[in-house]
Chains A and B, each alone.
Chain A
Amino acid sequence: ELKVEQNPLFLSMQEGKNYTIYCNYSTTSDRLYWYRQDPGKSLESLFVLLSNGAVKQEGRLMASLDTKARLSTLHITAAVHDLSATYFCAVDLSGGGADGLTFGKGTHLIIQP
């Protein structure tokens, strides 16, 4: 059974600081997603990582994938309050669609002024 572990599960940080969220998974996969969820809202797709060594950046967020280490990271640079949300990684074993997605428990990120 595929296990996806995120850490930390809770993170409180100050604006302007940098931090990294980690996503470890237990079975070989070369497709991983990062989502953002605001309270009471749906999941917003942030990044789709499709191969070993993939790195994608959008604004203050950067995601990477190391399929050999079975590890993905989501790095936050110079955090701002608007980035406060819950971030999920999801590993895809089915090669597309959403039937093979296994989610981590999420990282609750609070960014304080």
Chain B
Amino acid sequence: NAGVMQNPRHLVRRRGQEARLRCSPMKGHSHVYWYRQLPEEGLKFMVYLQKENIIDESGMPKERFSAEFPKEGPSILRIQQVVRGDSAAYFCASSLFEGGMNTEAFFGQGTRLTVV
């Protein structure tokens, strides 16, 4: 059973380009979370998704950022018109919903985005 898979592991984009980050949850997990980690900081929550549904996007910047988790395929975090301040490590986590609650979430290895 593979863990949470993120790709690419490293992504370099020029200012103004778009960045697409992918996350495949653990097998059987239906809930996905995205976090951002700035250098020397802890992780900050961005968005929580179920299949075809955004549950909580309170941590997402209002502009340029969007996330989806389609019925088929990985979850995508999309950043349009990237700026240098978007450079960070983006982590995805997934969990199972069981017995009316979420189980412990497991994190992927992250995508390190560098905007040049």
Contact = CB atoms under 8 A, between A and B. Distances in A.
Interface of B: 31, 33, 35, 40-45, 48, 55-56, 91, 93, 95, 97, 101-110, 112
Contacts of A100: 45
17 contacts: A33-B104, A41-B110, A42-B91, A43-B43, A95-B102, A96-B95, A96-B102, A96-B104, A97-B31, A97-B97, A98-B95, A99-B48, A101-B45, A101-B105, A102-B45, A104-B42, A106-B40
Interface residues of A, number: 24
Interface of A: 4, 33, 35, 40-43, 45, 48, 88, 90, 94-106
B56 A99 contact: yes
Nearest to B32: A98
A99 B33 contact: yes
